[in-house]
């Protein structure tokens, strides 16, 4: 729910500089972009600076409504903002780290963030959300990020994620694809693993291989691009051995921005729910994404996406255990969606209504 605007229209138009702080992982950095876009539109005369995790903020580079992108940590924040550098009119801070709030309060006239249960800090916040973290898995991540600007009357500007590839990155990617694959098409991108701490979200490698063989039977010229990190080497190598001369392993070989530039050149993406899947969704190209029942599409799927084919686990829903195996998503289920995507058919598989946007919040995980 959007709160009535707490600031005057004159204050909005007078704002020249706005600071945004969101120190988090790749996927969550990207999931915040609808909130950043809403803030940028609301302050039409302001230049936005966004500070994120030093190793993750690059996902925001080149986005037109961000004038500056940089890194910050709760440790470095303690040493910043003490000297007489220029100030910001407004700051928006996500998360619970006290040091980030103290930095924002040194730099900005008005700070909007989460209540810190510290009377000295909370009294200085222009507006404060009651909790530094929502109940885990209770609402879609985009809805959670939008709740902060909405708390001061800033309306949303859509739910799609944003990412901007530079011209030089696009040229490099096209040249690499031409070298590695020639004219073979379609090019299918695969994200075969989540990160190690959430391996329960992984679909069995044997299922990926069976699916790929079905794709080859239907499209004999199909080739596969394997995304991921160096941690995924064993899984990607297993795939490449089963489909020799049809797969290129890019996992662990590319930078983050090189990876997204390559993604732009493929025809279809198939992946589990993880950071690269969010990155690909920002490109608004055909994609098939799979979700563990404890983290279903209602919480993390792309919204306002034109070519999304969702595969939710049959047991998806509030309270689903992380012990449930992803193998219960059958190859047939995924192939049905892949086949539709390859034929260019409109999706009949949009996923569950996003919690907190098109449906009420879920109960969330127990504390």
**What is the number of structural domains in the chain?**
2
Domain match, 129 and 172 both: no
How many CB atoms are closer than 10 A to CB 332?
A: 10
Range of the domain at 133: 9-150
Share of the chain above pLDDT 90, in %: 84
Give the pLDDT confidence of 168-213 residue by residue, as tens digits. 999 999 999 999 999 999 999 999 999 888 899 999 999 999 999 9
| Mean pLDDT computed over 139-167 | 95
52 domain-assigned: yes
- Please tell me the predicted confidence (pLDDT) of residue 118: 86
Range of weakest confidence among 102-106, 269-273, 307-311, 315-319: 315-319
Question: Is the pLDDT higher at 196 or at 349?
Answer: 349
In sequence order, what are the residues at sequence separation of 6 or more whose Cβ sits closer than 8 angstroms to the Cβ of residue 269?
188, 189, 190, 191, 263, 277, 280, 285, 286, 287, 288, 289
CATH number where 113 lies: 3.40.50.2000
Domain match, 72 and 207 both: no
Domain match, 191 and 82 both: no
Q: What are the tokens at 222?
A: 């199909």
Domain match, 204 and 100 both: no
Q: What are the tokens at 96?
A: 């619970």
Domain match, 112 and 256 both: no
Res 367 pLDDT > 50: no
**Residue positions counted in the chain:** 367
In sequence order, what are the residues at sequence separation of 6 or more whose Cβ sits closer than 8 angstroms to the Cβ of residue 264?
165, 170, 173, 283, 285
| Mean pLDDT computed over 141-170 | 96
pTM as predicted: 0.93
Domain match, 126 and 189 both: no
In sequence order, what are the residues at sequence separation of 6 or more whose Cβ sits closer than 8 angstroms to the Cβ of residue 363?
135, 138, 318, 319
- Assign 3-class secondary structure to 205-269: HHHHHHHHHHHHHHCCCCEEEEECCHHHHHHHHHHHHHCCCCEEECCCCCCHHHHHHHHCCCCEE
Res 246 pLDDT > 50: yes
| Mean pLDDT computed over 236-264 | 96
Question: Is the pLDDT higher at 173 or at 2?
Answer: 173
- Please enumerate, as own/partner, the contacts of 60-68 that have beta carbons within 8 Å and a separation of 24 or more: 60/29, 60/33, 60/36, 61/164, 61/166, 61/257, 62/164, 62/165, 62/166, 63/33, 63/36, 63/162, 63/163, 63/164, 64/164, 65/36, 65/37, 65/40, 65/41, 66/36, 66/40
Give the pLDDT confidence of 93-103 residue by residue, as tens digits. 998 899 999 99
């Amino acid at each position: 729910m959007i709160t009535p605007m707490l600031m005057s229209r004159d204050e909005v138009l007078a704002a020249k500089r706005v600071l945004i702080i969101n120190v988090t992982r790749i996927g969550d950095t990207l999931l915040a972009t609808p909130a950043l876009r809403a803030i940028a539109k609301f302050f039409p005369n302001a230049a936005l600076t966004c500070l994120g995790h030093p190793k993750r903020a690059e996902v925001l580079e080149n986005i037109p409504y961000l004038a500056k992108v940089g890194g910050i940590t709760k440790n470095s924040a303690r040493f910043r903002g003490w000297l007489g550098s220029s100030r910001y009119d407004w700051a928006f801070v996500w998360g619970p780290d006290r040091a980030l709030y103290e930095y924002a309060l040194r730099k900005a006239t008005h700070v909007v963030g989460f209540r810190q249960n510290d009377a000295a800090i909370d009294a200085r916040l222009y507006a404060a959300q009651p909790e530094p973290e929502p109940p885990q898995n209770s609402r879609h991540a985009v809805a959670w990020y939008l709740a902060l600007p909405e708390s001061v009357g800033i309306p949303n500007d859509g739910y799609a994620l944003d990412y901007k590839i530079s011209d030089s990155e696009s040229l490099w990617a096209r040249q690499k694809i031409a070298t590695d694959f020639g004219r073979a098409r379609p090019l299918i991108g695969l994200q075969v693993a989540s990160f190690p701490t959430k391996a329960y979200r992984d679909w069995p490698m044997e299922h990926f291989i069976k699916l790929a063989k079905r794709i080859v039977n239907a499209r004999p010229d199909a080739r596969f691009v394997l995304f991921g990190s160096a941690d995924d080497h064993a899984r990607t190598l297993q795939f490449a051995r089963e489909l020799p001369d049809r797969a290129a392993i890019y996992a662990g070989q590319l930078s983050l921005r090189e990876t997204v530039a390559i993604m732009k050149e493929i025809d279809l993406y198939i992946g589990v729910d993880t950071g690269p899947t969010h990155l690909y969704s920002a490109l608004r190209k055909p994609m098939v994404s799979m979700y563990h029942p404890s983290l279903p599409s209602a919480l993390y799927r792309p919204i306002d996406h034109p070519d999304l084919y969702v595969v939710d686990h049959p047991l998806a829903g509030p309270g689903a255990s992380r012990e449930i195996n992803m193998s219960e998503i059958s190859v047939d289920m995924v192939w049905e969606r892949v086949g539709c995507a390859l034929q260019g058919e409109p999706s009949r598989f949009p996923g569950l209504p996003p919690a907190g946007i098109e449906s009420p919040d879920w109960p969330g995980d127990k504390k």
